[in-house]
Amino acid sequence: MERSIKDIQKKVESNSAVVMTSQEICELVEKGEAISTKDVDVVTTATRAIMSGTYAVLSFPAKAPFHFTRASKVFLNGVPAHVGPCPNESLGVLDLMVFGTAHSSLKPEYGAGHLLRDMVEQKPIDVSVITNENDNFQSEITLDEIPYAKLYSTRHAFKNYAAFVNCSSSPINTIFHASSFEPNMETATLSGCGQINPVKNDPDLQTIGIGTKVIINSGEGFVIGSGTRSSPEKANLVGVADMHNMRSQLMGGFSTSSGPECIVSWAVPIPVVNGSVLDSIKELDKDTPMPVMDVDKRVPVSTGSYAEAWQNIDLNVKFSPDKCLRCKVCKPIENCPMDAIYYKAEELTLDRQLCFNCGLCTTNCPGNVFSADLGSIKVEKDGTLTEVPIVLRQSDRKRALNMAEKLKKDIIDGSFTITEMVEKLQP
Ligand code: SF4
Ligand code: SF4
């Protein structure tokens, strides 16, 4: 049965639509239930992950007019911003682009992801400007005082991504690990939220197109294109959203052994317009391929499925501070990519708001203060199939599930309206 998005919109407006999360559909499929297009109208999907292709465009007055002609260099909390493309000659206004991979030269572990989260938390941001006249000045600003602050992507929300192993004989520093990647395929890391990932649920982009309204970091945004390296097999999206409406808990910086990266969260509604969209929604983690890549040569090693990443594992890390052995060096504190573990009034503390559920702390704590089953992937090594333990997840399925739930509620109560695309995307 074919239905238009307009028909589905009308059903939602008249409170007669059935809205479900992709997780709920998958659970019914697992139970053997038959689901047809008559049973569901809209399915909500989400992903939260490290997404490199992120940048922000900011515009704000930095000084009264005629104090300088143009800025030549600008730093926000030490993070370099790109000046322009608007000249704003003599207006005292800065137009800036901040790339997601930029980081402070004074504090290399502080990157644009950290900066954007601090901005959304309304923390004061140091603005340091060098002018064309080689003058320099500093000021402080909060997001409320920045009239234009939008987050964009060059590529976000890949259909799914991959698991990684290091096939070389030396440790490697890479964006795909929070510490040095162990050699000889000893460990694995992964990205991709599996069966709940937005584009996995509409791989032919039948309902996601230019103009589709989505949620980015909890704020309303829109799809404006397909991204760099998008392909029919592995489509991704370009989006934009106003930073003023975002929630800091869903974004931030994530330290990798090759520098800080950006965390971004997307939630996307999929109107069930026909059987082929529903067929994709019903594909489970076990049907969703997870390529395993060699991080050294960036070539595929094998293909598993997202069931290895997300089935029969713990989404959350368990924290038992009473088990702490007070070691001389605490590796979980040293290596946590979110700085979510610290001592507060001499109490070992896990900041759940910051924690990404990556799981790394469960692999390097002799007291088992942190514990979680992260699962393993099967890879062929020396002619035999070997279980390689997953030691780091660069996608947070737990919070992605929460986002899909929230979007479902917002559609049902009318605070989020689904939109029709204005143009189809070519992945
Ligand atoms: S490594 Fe584990 S047991 Fe040792 S101090 Fe850190 S939290 Fe405590
Ligand atoms: S799971 Fe552990 S290492 Fe990962 S962000 Fe949370 S506290 Fe840090």
Q: pLDDT (tens digit, 0 to 9) for every residue of the chain, 427 residues total?
A: 789 999 999 999 999 999 999 999 999 999 999 999 999 999 999 999 999 899 999 999 999 999 999 999 999 999 999 998 888 989 999 999 999 999 998 899 999 999 999 999 999 999 999 999 999 999 999 999 999 999 999 999 988 889 999 999 999 999 999 999 999 999 999 999 999 999 999 999 999 999 999 999 999 999 999 999 999 888 999 999 999 999 999 999 999 999 999 999 999 999 999 999 999 999 999 999 999 999 999 999 999 999 999 999 999 999 999 999 999 999 999 999 999 999 998 899 999 999 999 999 999 999 999 999 999 999 987 778 899 999 999 999 999 999 999 999 999 999 999 999 999 998 6
Output the residue whose Cα is nearest ligand 2's atom 2: 361
Ligand 1 centroid to Cα of residue 113, in Å, is 28
Q: Is the pTM of this model over 0.85?
A: yes
Ligand 1 atom closest to Cα of residue 341:
7
Ligand 1 atom closest to Cα of residue 333:
6
Whole-number pLDDT of residue 381:
75
**E-state strands within 277-368:** 289-294, 299-305, 318-319, 341-344, 347-350
| Any atom of ligand 2 within 6 Å of the Cβ of 254 | no
Ligand 1 centroid to Cα of residue 157, in Å, is 35
CB 70 within 8 A of CB 88: yes
Ligand 2 centroid to Cα of residue 202, in Å, is 31
| Any atom of ligand 1 within 6 Å of the Cβ of 360 | no
> Please, what sign has the CA dihedral across residues 40, 304, 173, 238?
negative
| Any atom of ligand 2 within 6 Å of the Cβ of 361 | yes
Ligand 2 centroid to Cα of residue 323, in Å, is 17
Whole-number pLDDT of residue 286:
97
Ligand found nearest the CA of 324: 1
| Any atom of ligand 1 within 6 Å of the Cβ of 350 | no
| Any atom of ligand 2 within 6 Å of the Cβ of 357 | yes
| Any atom of ligand 2 within 6 Å of the Cβ of 360 | yes
CB 153 within 8 A of CB 355: no
CB 193 within 8 A of CB 273: no
**In whole angstroms, what is the distance from residue 380 CA to residue 165 CA?**
11
Whole-number pLDDT of residue 86:
87
CB 202 within 8 A of CB 417: no
Q: Length of the chain in residues, anyone?
A: 427
Whole-number pLDDT of residue 427:
67
CA 387 to chain centre: 27
Output the residue whose Cα is nearest ligand 2's atom 4: 358
| Any atom of ligand 2 within 6 Å of the Cβ of 350 | yes
**In whole angstroms, what is the distance from residue 357 CA to residue 371 CA?**
11
Residue 137 DSSP label: E
Ligand found nearest the CA of 347: 1
3-state SS assignment for residue 237: strand
Element housing 50 (H / E): strand 42-50
3-state SS assignment for residue 115: helix
Whole-number pLDDT of residue 18:
97
| Any atom of ligand 2 within 6 Å of the Cβ of 338 | yes
Output the residue whose Cα is nearest ligand 1's atom 4: 327
Ligand 2 centroid to Cα of residue 359, in Å, is 6
Ligand 2 centroid to Cα of residue 358, in Å, is 5
Structural domain boundaries in the chain: 5-51+156-313+374-412, 53-152, 318-371
Q: In sequence order, which ranges of 213-306 are alpha helices (DSSP H)?
A: 275-281
Ligand 1 atom closest to Cα of residue 323:
3
**Tokens coding 224:** 């404006």
**In whole angstroms, what is the distance from residue 186 CA to residue 364 CA?**
14
| Any atom of ligand 1 within 6 Å of the Cβ of 331 | yes
**In whole angstroms, what is the distance from residue 302 CA to residue 300 CA?**
6
Our mutation pick for probing the ligand 1 site, out of 179, 326, 347, counting the most ligand atoms within 8 A of Cβ, is 326
382 contact partners, CB below 8 Å, separation of at least 6: none
Ligand found nearest the CA of 364: 1
Ligand 2 centroid to Cα of residue 239, in Å, is 28
Output the residue whose Cα is nearest ligand 1's atom 2: 365
| CATH architecture, range 318-371 | 2-Layer Sandwich (3.30)
